[in-house]
Chains A and B, each alone.
Chain A
Amino acid sequence: MKPLPTDRLRRVEAWGMTVGGPCYVFRPSTVEGILDAFDAARNAGKTVAIKGGGNSYGDAFLNREAFVLDLSRMRRILEWNPATGVIQVEPGATIADVWQYVLEDGWWPPVVSGTAAVTLGGALAANIHGKNNYRAGPIGEHVRAVWLLTPGGDVLPLSPSQNSELFYAVIGGFGGLGVVVAAEIQLKKVYSGLLDVSAFATGRWVETLDRLDELAQSNDYAVGWVDGFALGAKAGRAILHSANYLKEGDDPHPEESLSVEFQQIPTTVFGIPKTALPRLLRPWVRPLTMRWINSLKYRSGKRQDGHRFRQGLAPFNFLLDSIPNWKHAYRPAGLVQYQVFTPKESSSQLFPSLIAMAHEHGFPPFLAVLKRHRPDPFLLSHAVDGYSLALDFRVHGKRWEKFLSLANEMTELALAAGSRFYLAKDSVLSSDQYERAVGADAVQQYRELKSRLDPEGLLSSELLRRVLLKD
């Protein structure tokens, strides 16, 4: 066994800052570089986790005291056809790289996350969804093909019609089956860089969920912000937004709105550089002040009920990029997002119970976001015909065990309601809970594929070991 490459030792930290530690990081720029990293890991008797932009909230790309393959240098646009909207990219290309490359030709990624910093490799590993999941499905549904590098060194082409079993397992498979070294994606034609956006205020859970469902039936995007501090009669009060692409001819100046400059998110607010905001906001990210901020946001949103306006594609979709490194406002604590995907019929019972339970345990959710979803054909799909509720918690290391106990109670309640979970956000599930959510057959099928493609178990991560690869 060869000595460990100590010059590659770096701290790797989950996006939510709750967990991190030393990993041996390789940043290849070619497929040969990936294979070299595999060999180095074998020689050192270590496993390899795959990392893209590092935007997973939990331990998806963590592999402490072992190897991490950071693919962010492999970010070339390999092919682009502005006539058909088909793009081929390396895994390290970010959503920002893609939209900024194609927008002026009148195309937009059909599914995007709340931040454009996610790499396409990461987006496929997590099978990300957007505020249009009920209509567009996850990003995997727009993939024409991927090329998978197996730990054995083979490159397999996968598509919905070629090696389809593997295609539907690799997308959403969190890098346990191989490394996607290129992907071909069908983008969406757009005739403007603007969206028609409408805002609505709702008062209670049933009304909120019904209204979001109604909006989802007739709009390209629909999303809700819920006041996570409102309990009792006010529980479930929310501000919903719907949005639609503009039709051809609706935008009098499409050449202007379809430019990267037009879509740029302002870098200052009231003259203050946004980079300074997380530090300035830090004293406010406390239960008492967040209660006040949530209440203020609801009241101000209520005054805008029925308001219609136009907003750029980037500012509407990439809300998380509006303040750079906003997560640092949670410091010195960490940020955990707990997200459940619950069938339509049980959401109105479950969601208020989860929020009430969190308050009872002393962890009020500082931010709560609601989305509408539909099922998809991927093996480890997190989506259901229903809603997702994402709750942001500030968790200090000293209170981690207490939070885990709350999360465990919430998960049991959510499982009883038929919920699923999104591993890109997860920090808390056990393998038993995950198996109950996604189904034992799916887990078994994943493990069989894993033993076929990676019999030596080279590809692994703390997330995979926590929820999927345990016996």
Chain B
Amino acid sequence: MHSKWKNAIVVGATGGIGKEIASQLLSSGTNVALVGRDGTKLDSLADELRREDARAISVPCDVRQLETVEPAFQEAIEKLGGLDLIVYAAGVMPRVEPNEYNTEKDAEIIAVNLTGAIAWLNLAAKRFERAREGTIVGIGSVAGDRGRKGNPVYAASKAGLETYLESLRNRLAPNGVSVVTVKPGPVETPMTADRGKLPGMISADRAARLILRAAGKPNKTAYIPGKWWLVSKILRAIPSPLFRRLNI
């Protein structure tokens, strides 16, 4: 299948979902700038994923270092020769104990999952708004739909990301720019490796396929896979007093 995008940036390309997205984009002929914090890992990934008809470029950047984001964004565009799609797939979900309140750990989650996303996607939004075209994809989570006991700041970071993406969508849609929020359920990635087999878990390969399919449809919010839409509707409908008694 030939991709509708010529040039893409995948932030968080060394992670489970990000790597699969980058790989599938390259397979369909899209040039991809692979962004991640480990330059050596990125270089070997670029070698691994490179195709005859599509270039894989490594652009090292630690999303927590905000001053490095703009130069990295410009470097990616200049090396690619343009930009049609950006996928922010960087994310962390550290294990949090039930009685743990570790602000340092929480700040790290916010820095990677939310502030980093804002730093990268603001730059893409500005460019796409001027170009009057482009697709922004942010990876939210079903975990952001309700305030769960398990990992408060992870849930908050994903809820914040979803609201930010909705605002971008409302700003940019009149300019022909598409902003897509994808909300996967559990996905088999290194991030979830220590959680065991969770209910409804899908492979990163399948998640990436569904995410790219959703990204091709303008301005939507998509649950990955679609059944999580119904689960989310039900969870959202549960009254708070009842929800807090649930062990989720």
Residues of A in contact with B (beta carbons under 8 Å apart): 3-4, 6, 9-11, 20-22, 64-65
A sample of 26 cross-chain residue pairs with beta-carbon separation below 8 angstroms, ordered by A number, consists of A3-B74, A4-B74, A4-B77, A4-B78, A6-B127, A9-B127, A9-B130, A9-B131, A10-B130, A10-B131, A11-B130, A11-B131, A11-B132, A11-B133, A20-B132, A20-B133, A21-B82, A21-B131, A21-B133, A22-B82, A22-B127, A22-B130, A22-B131, A22-B133, A64-B82, A65-B82
Judged by a CB distance under 8 angstroms, whether B241 is at the interface is no
Complex CA–CA separation, A121 to B82 (angstroms): 29
For B82, what are the chain A residues with a Cβ–Cβ distance below 8 Å? Answer: 21-22, 64-65
Q: Shortest Cβ distance from A21 into chain B, in angstroms?
A: 7
For A65, what are the chain B residues with a Cβ–Cβ distance below 8 Å? Answer: 81-82
Q: Shortest Cβ distance from A81 into chain B, in angstroms?
A: 43
Complex CA–CA separation, A21 to B77 (angstroms): 14
Binding site secondary structure of chain B: helix
Complex CA–CA separation, A20 to B74 (angstroms): 21
Complex CA–CA separation, A10 to B133 (angstroms): 11
Interfacial residues of chain B within 75-127, with CB under 8 A of chain A in the complex = 77-78, 81-82, 126-127
Complex CA–CA separation, A22 to B132 (angstroms): 8
Number of A-B contacts defined by CB within 8 Å: 29
Closest CB pairs A-B (n = 8): A22-B131, A11-B132, A9-B130, A65-B82, A11-B131, A65-B81, A10-B130, A3-B74
For B126, what are the chain A residues with a Cβ–Cβ distance below 8 Å? Answer: 6
Complex CA–CA separation, A65 to B78 (angstroms): 9
Complex CA–CA separation, A11 to B77 (angstroms): 16
Complex CA–CA separation, A415 to B130 (angstroms): 40
Question: Size of chain B's interface in residues, with CB distance under 8 A?
Answer: 11
For B131, what are the chain A residues with a Cβ–Cβ distance below 8 Å? Answer: 9-11, 21-22
A45 nearest CB neighbor, chain B only: B78
Mark B22-64 against chain A: 1 for CB-CB distance below 8 A, else 0. Answer: 0000000000000000000000000000000000000000000
For B133, what are the chain A residues with a Cβ–Cβ distance below 8 Å? Answer: 11, 20-22
Complex CA–CA separation, A10 to B130 (angstroms): 5
Complex CA–CA separation, A368 to B193 (angstroms): 65
For B130, what are the chain A residues with a Cβ–Cβ distance below 8 Å? Answer: 9-11, 22
Complex CA–CA separation, A4 to B82 (angstroms): 12
B123 nearest CB neighbor, chain A only: A6
Q: Shortest Cβ distance from B192 into chain A, in angstroms?
A: 38
Q: Shortest Cβ distance from B65 into chain A, in angstroms?
A: 19
Complex CA–CA separation, A344 to B81 (angstroms): 46
Which of A6, A11, A21, A22 touches B74 (beta carbons < 8 Å)? Answer: A6
Q: Shortest Cβ distance from B133 into chain A, in angstroms?
A: 7
Complex CA–CA separation, A98 to B133 (angstroms): 36
B71 nearest CB neighbor, chain A only: A3
For A3, what are the chain B residues with a Cβ–Cβ distance below 8 Å? Answer: 74
Q: Shortest Cβ distance from B219 into chain A, in angstroms?
A: 15
Q: Shortest Cβ distance from A12 into chain B, in angstroms?
A: 9
A3 nearest CB neighbor, chain B only: B74
Complex CA–CA separation, A11 to B127 (angstroms): 10
Q: Shortest Cβ distance from A99 into chain B, in angstroms?
A: 33
For A4, what are the chain B residues with a Cβ–Cβ distance below 8 Å? Answer: 74, 77-78
Q: Shortest Cβ distance from B17 into chain A, in angstroms?
A: 28
Complex CA–CA separation, A9 to B78 (angstroms): 13
For A10, what are the chain B residues with a Cβ–Cβ distance below 8 Å? Answer: 130-131
Complex CA–CA separation, A283 to B236 (angstroms): 42
Complex CA–CA separation, A64 to B126 (angstroms): 17
Complex CA–CA separation, A4 to B81 (angstroms): 11
Complex CA–CA separation, A9 to B133 (angstroms): 12
Q: Shortest Cβ distance from B86 into chain A, in angstroms?
A: 14
A25 nearest CB neighbor, chain B only: B130
Q: Shortest Cβ distance from B125 into chain A, in angstroms?
A: 13
B127 nearest CB neighbor, chain A only: A9
B75 nearest CB neighbor, chain A only: A3
For B127, what are the chain A residues with a Cβ–Cβ distance below 8 Å? Answer: 6, 9, 22
B130 nearest CB neighbor, chain A only: A9
Known A4-B74, A11-B130; 16 more pairs at CB < 8 Å: A3-B74, A4-B78, A6-B126, A6-B127, A9-B127, A9-B130, A9-B131, A10-B130, A10-B131, A11-B131, A11-B133, A22-B82, A22-B127, A22-B131, A65-B81, A65-B82
For A9, what are the chain B residues with a Cβ–Cβ distance below 8 Å? Answer: 127, 130-131
Q: Shortest Cβ distance from B49 into chain A, in angstroms?
A: 23
Complex CA–CA separation, A64 to B77 (angstroms): 13
Interfacial residues of chain B within 117-155, with CB under 8 A of chain A in the complex = 126-127, 130-133
